[in-house]
Amino acid sequence: MRTFAAVDLGASSGRVMAGRAGPGKLELAAVHRFPNEPVRAGGTLHWDILALYRGVLEGLRRAGPVDGIGIDSWAVDYGLLDATGALLGNPVHYRDARTDGIATMVPEDELYALTGLQKLPFNTIYQLVAAAGTPQLEIARQLLMIPDLIAYWLTGEPGAEATNASTTQLLDVRSGTWATGLMERLGIRPALFPALRRPGETIGRVLPELGLGATDVIAVGSHDTASAVVGVPAASEHFAFVSCGTWSLVGVELDAPVLTEESRLANFTNEGGVDGTIRYLRNVMGLWPLQECLREWGQPGLPDLLRAAAAEPAFGAVVDLDDPGFLPPGDMVRRICRQAGRELEPPAIVRCIVDSLALAHRRAVRQAQELSGRHVDAVHIVGGGARNELLCRLTADACGLPVLAGPVEATALGNVLVQARAAGAIRGDLSALRALLRETQGIVRYEPRGDEAAWRAAERRVGSLTCG
């Protein structure tokens, strides 16, 4: 067995995991966890990228000698470098208000036909349009997505890993190359964007001055959802995935993008996956509203709240988690209660969020099948949401399909699997990697037992709501 370090940076925390892999063997252990706390300065919400990098270095030192390092993170955000390779300020957070009301002046149907991406106000394309004319962007000579920026600091090698590049809405979804014509139309300099690299390619050797040993950094599915989908232990191609954390990414894995007008109007996205696959999915708000409510309440124990929520009446209150009014941080309890139409106690708010999230999963799984033509026999929930028994059970009821929950650390496992295959420690295609997951990881099965008529009625209620 060989050991690989998986650097996994999420929207609220980061971690370094050590994975050991070999024929028929796959183990994972946490080495270091650290917070990811945004900072508001001068009216702008930033990522504290240097604190994250410090956490990464500490984790890699604790991991000790490894046979490879892979880095994944959330999507769409980037750092700008000057002509000397120095970072021009902290990257701006995708939840910052600078993209509010921003449009590209490119017809939406044309943009979708080229990039295949769901319209989301924080996509990189809108961030760059919003930043037009700023001194930083004017003097920048290179743009690196967050995991590529960390890799650059580790190796000195710039580049753009393809799965994360696909989230920028500046990549041609058919050719898999930068959409330079689109960039030029929008006044975005194509020269900012480095050469693309694919999962499994070696980025470079860790710089000697970092004292981490002569270790290669290996490109993985650097968009964390791309790695998470590798970590789905599916037994066939007929599965839906829910990568559930701050966001719920709900969809199916395909060989080619779906670029129909119906797909665009349903706001489905075609993102690049490992081995040339397409992650056909919708972004659903996920556990973000719950996380924000817990923060407002002073971080009470979630297990006790979930037990109390399970005893609350089903559909006592529901909200539309696709409403962009839930996107900004702060004041979440008031917004939930306002859309629900009345004041709610914490257990009822938690039940409202979980019921509403299961409804959102139901809608996205159904639409993914209808729009792609891919029949689904089971729903796999991976990520932190796999720990939430109430959410998993309600998602099975809502979808009328078995839910297979786990692994929780699917992203880190997918990261390790791609590294291990690139290094020759294991072999095989995605189906072989997933077979190894089924052999080595614990998975919990939930059978559907819900009242379909009640779910349909709740879905109709959600359709009439707005966030005040």
* CA–CA gap between residue 459 and residue 293 (Å, rounded): 23
* CA–CA gap between residue 446 and residue 298 (Å, rounded): 31
Neighbours of 12 (CB within 10 A): 16
Neighbours of 438 (CB within 10 A): 12
DSSP code for 118? -
What's the pLDDT at 467? 43
Q: Among the listed ranges 241-245, 258-262, 311-315, 322-326, which one has the minimum average pLDDT value? A: 322-326
At 278-323, the pLDDT tens digits run 999 999 999 999 999 999 999 999 999 999 999 999 999 999 998 9
224 given a catalytic annotation: yes
Residue 335: left if φ>0, alpha if ψ -120 to 50, beta else—which one?
A: alpha
Give the pair of three-digit tokens for residue 84: 């000397």
What are the φ/ψ torsions at residue 284 (nearest 5 degrees)?
Answer: -115, 150
What's the pLDDT at 94? 94
What's the pLDDT at 465? 65
Predicted confidence (pLDDT) at residue 466 exceeds the cutoff of 70 = no
What's the pLDDT at 224? 96
Predicted confidence (pLDDT) at residue 120 exceeds the cutoff of 90 = no
Looking at every residue in the chain, the average pLDDT score rounds to 96
Q: How confident is the model at residue 430 (pLDDT cuts 50, 70, 90)?
A: very high
At 336-363, the pLDDT tens digits run 999 999 999 999 999 999 999 999 999 9
Neighbours of 343 (CB within 10 A): 11
* CA–CA gap between residue 380 and residue 163 (Å, rounded): 21
What letters, b where the CB count within 10 A reaches 16 and e where it falls short, cover 86-97? ebbebbbbbbbe
At 405-422, the pLDDT tens digits run 999 999 999 999 999 999
Sign of the dihedral through C-alpha 359, 365, 369, 375 = negative
User: Which of these is catalytic: 77, 224, 322, 355?
Assistant: 224
96 Cβ neighbours under 8 A, 6+ residues apart: 44, 45, 46
What's the pLDDT at 119? 85
Predicted confidence (pLDDT) at residue 251 exceeds the cutoff of 60 = yes
CA distances from 432 to 13, 178, 231, 412, 421 (A): 30, 31, 11, 17, 11
Helices (H), 241-345: 261-265, 288-296, 302-310, 332-340
At 396-407, the pLDDT tens digits run 999 999 999 999
**CA Rg, the chain, in Å?**
21
Give the pair of three-digit tokens for residue 384: 């932190």
Mean pLDDT of 113-124: 93
Answer with the residue of higher pLDDT: 118 or 61.
61
What's the pLDDT at 463? 78
Predicted confidence (pLDDT) at residue 468 exceeds the cutoff of 50 = no
Evaluate whether 17 touches 31 at the Cβ level (below 8 Å): yes
Q: What whole-number percentage of the chain has pLDDT above 70?
A: 99
What are the φ/ψ torsions at residue 145 (nearest 5 degrees)?
Answer: -65, 160
Burial (Cβ within 10 Å: 0-12, 13-18, ≥19) of residue 75? buried
